Amino acid sequence: MLNAPEGAGSDHLKVAQMENSYKDIYELMRHALHITETIRVMSKALKAAHEESQDLFSSWNNHFVGHTLNPVVASQSLRTLKNSALLASSLHERADSFVDRLRNEAKIV
């Protein structure tokens, strides 16, 4: 919130405060956009790793003859990758919402 200074020069101070708030919001938005992009890339990478692991798990016997696969470990690994991908996707949605709120705030200021 802006403090409304009283007395001589109060308009100048109020404008200066508004300018600083505006700059702060855009600096924060710049960082938020970078974080959103990073989370989006992480989310896609985790989803791709999960899908690739599923393919590998389902075709294990065809590719690795003579090597046994522990189904419990494979299942846990797939579940961990899936949950990590879902978490990253949720974080990405939250980050997008935060950027949208910052954009709305920038319009107000």
* pLDDT tens for each residue of 56-109: 888 776 666 667 777 888 889 899 999 999 999 999 999 999 999 888 887 775
pLDDT bin (cut points 50, 70, 90) of residue 10 is: confident
Sequence-ordered list of residues with C-beta below 8 angstroms from that of 8, at least 6 positions apart, any chain: none
Quote the domain boundaries for residue 52: 12-60+69-108
Within-domain flag for 1:
no
pLDDT bin (cut points 50, 70, 90) of residue 1 is: very low
Q: How many CB atoms lie within 10 A of CB 76?
A: 11
Residue 16 near residue 51 (C-beta atoms within 8 A): no
* pLDDT tens for each residue of 14-59: 767 766 777 788 888 889 999 999 999 999 999 999 999 888 888 7
What's the 3-state SS for the chain? CCCCCCCCCHHHHHHHHHHHHHHHHHHHHHHHHHHHHHHHHHHHHHHHHHHHHHHHHHCHHHHCCCCCCCHHHHHHHHHHHHHHHHHHHHHHHHHHHHHHHHHHHHHHC
Q: How many domains does the chain contain in total?
A: 1
Within-domain flag for 3:
no
Model pTM? 0.66
* pLDDT tens for each residue of 50-59: 999 888 888 7
Within-domain flag for 6:
no
Within-domain flag for 2:
no
